[in-house]
């Protein structure tokens, strides 16, 4: 290879490397990337209605029961980023609910805001920053009296909490 071909190859490699570094920095700074912009800005949003995709699921027509939806596999793209947790307090229930994720190794790693009947929470961040990995956990569904806040019951579901550390 002649000298000008070597220079051109070197310049091309530097341009590609710079483009990759800029893309990585941009991904880190975006809210889904979990970087600088997102830290401290996150507020979970409890929405009225049904979880997307669950609009036709059963509703509670009998106050003797409590229906809910809890995501069984919860994935967070980065340790500090919001993940899709998919919690729903089904319409027709008489009680509020709060959900706690409990890991045998780390204790309580998440606690949801209160969900009234007919509301859902799609995304939220963990309460504890965990390293990348898969964590078996319990979703503890705390059933609360809407007037007093007193706990009426607790249901437990086994879930997996997956923490990734994706760049893009």
Which element (helix H / strand E) includes 18? helix 3-29
Average pLDDT, the chain: 85
Phi, psi of 71 (to 5 degrees): -60, 130
Which of 35-39, 103-107, 114-118, 137-141 bottoms out in mean pLDDT, i.e. has the lowest? 35-39
User: What's residue 60's pLDDT?
Assistant: 87
pLDDT band per the 50, 70, 90 thresholds, residue 135: very high
How many residues does the structure list for the chain?
Answer: 168
pTM for this prediction: 0.74
CA nearest neighbour of 70 among 87, 90, 45: 87
Give how far Cα 53 sits from Cα of 88, 89, 122, Å.
Answer: 12, 15, 11
Domain positions in the chain = 1-41, 45-163
Q: Tell me, what DSSP letter sits at residue 92? A: T
C-alpha torsion angle, residues 12, 17, 18, 19 (rounded to 10): 90
- CA-CA distance, 33 to 166, in Å (whole number)? 8
CATH tag, 45-163: 2.60.40.2550
Angle at 120 between CA 115 and CA 125, to 5 degrees: 85
């Amino acid at each position: 290879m002649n000298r000008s071909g070597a220079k051109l190859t070197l310049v091309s490699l530097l341009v590609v490397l710079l483009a990759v570094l800029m893309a990585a920095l941009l991904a880190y700074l975006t809210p889904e990337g979990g970087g600088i912009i997102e830290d401290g800005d996150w507020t979970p949003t409890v929405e009225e209605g049904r979880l997307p995709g669950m609009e036709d699921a059963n509703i509670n027509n009998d106050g003797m029961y409590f229906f809910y939806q809890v995501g069984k596999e919860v994935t967070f793209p980065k340790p500090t980023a919001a993940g899709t947790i998919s919690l729903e307090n089904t319409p027709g229930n008489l009680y509020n609910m709060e959900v706690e994720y409990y890991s045998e190794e780390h204790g309580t790693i998440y606690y949801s805001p209160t969900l009234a009947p007919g509301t859902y929470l799609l995304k939220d961040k963990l309460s504890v920053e965990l390293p990348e990995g898969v964590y078996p956990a319990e979703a503890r569904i705390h059933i609360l009296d809407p007037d007093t806040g007193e706990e009426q019951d607790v249901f437990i579901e086994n879930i997996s909490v997956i923490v990734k550390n994706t760049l893009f």
